Structures are given as structure tokens and as C-alpha cells.
Amino acid sequence: MEARSSSVLIFFFMFLAISSAFPKNKDKYKPCKHLVLFFHDIIYNGKNAANATSAIVAAPQGSNLTILAPNSHFGNIAVFDDPITLDNNLHSKPVGRAQGMYIYDTKNTFTSWLGFSFSLNSTDYQGTINFIGADPIMIKYRDISIVGGTGDFFMHRGVATIDTDSYEGEVYFRLKVDIKFYECW
């Protein structure tokens, strides 16, 4: 009897623990600000110096800084200075720059770790938005954290859903960034 009631209690506490780790009421939060932007990354491949917007700056032993490493690019780090546009056209007038790095950090699949800022300078927005998080590239929609901002985004926090809107081999990719701020000031 004693043992049975304590196991009921354990299940009760387990249920409490599980229900608080995965809040079901997540959907009740509505963003206080929402914007969708695109950025375009043209990776240096040894021939496109004038056009490239990103450079491999670290490679594992046996690879070089021109071609991404085999085995899911594990060990490569790229630094980028990419144009941000309002639509999916690389040639649209940029509204700012996406600047930072991505690190390929998984040995058996394509996953990168992103750390970058959007520096926006347009008639609509002036300021920076800072992003950090894991980017499991093979998944269509990935969420990364928006850890802060400055200017028009002073003290803002939220989550951005990114998806690879387009890519051309290993030379170009375009990310769509759906920015949802849940804390605005």
C-alpha cells in the first residue's frame, strides 16, 4: 500500500515536471513586432572574389579555405557580410547587412551554428538585431534565438524562423528570416 501511493506521487511529480518543460500555452504569446527579411550569401570559391560575400576562415586539417570540407563541412568556419533585402531578389536595394559567422559543428549531418547581427539602415528601420543558435540546415524551418537589439530594436528579444529559400550548389544560398519579437520596448 505504502509503496503504491508513493509511486502514484512520483508519477504525479513526473507529470508536473513534463508539463512545465513543454508549455502547451506557447501559442498564446503573440509577437509584439513581426518582420520578414532575406539575406544572400555568396561563398568565395576561388574565382568569384568580386562577387563573394563570405569567406571560409577556418578549415580542418587536410582541407583548405577555398572548398568546404567533405563530411558535412565539419570544422569549417565562414565569416559573412551579406546584403539584406525585403524580398527574395539578390539584386533588390539592400536595407542593411547581415554580418557574423557560421560554424559547421556536426560530424555526420549538415548543421551549422549561427552567430550574427542584422545592421539595418533603411527609412523603416535603423538599428541592430542579434541572432544566435543552432541551424539544422536539412530541416525546412529552424528557430534561432534573437538575444537582443539596439536602435529601433532596443532591448528586443524573440525567435526567428529561418528557411533556406534557395541555393545554388555550394556558392549561393538565400535565407528567409521570419523575425518575431516577443519583447519590445
Residues that bind ligand NAG (CB under 6 A): 42, 51, 64, 66-67, 121, 168, 171-172
Q: How near is the Cβ of 21 to ligand NAG at its closest, in Å? A: 42
What is the distance between the alpha carbons of residues 110 and 137, in angstroms, rounded to a whole number?
6
Q: How near is the Cβ of 93 to ligand NAG at its closest, in Å? A: 11
In the bound state with ligand NAG, the residue whose beta carbon lies nearer, of 111 and 119, is: 119
Q: Which amino acid type is present at position 139? A: I
Q: How near is the Cβ of 156 to ligand NAG at its closest, in Å? A: 18
What is the distance between the alpha carbons of residues 12 and 158, in angstroms, rounded to a whole number?
32
The answer to whether 115 touches 101, Cβ cutoff 8 Å, is yes
In the bound state with ligand NAG, the residue whose beta carbon lies nearer, of 53 and 112, is: 53
Beta-carbon count within 10 A of 156 CB: 23
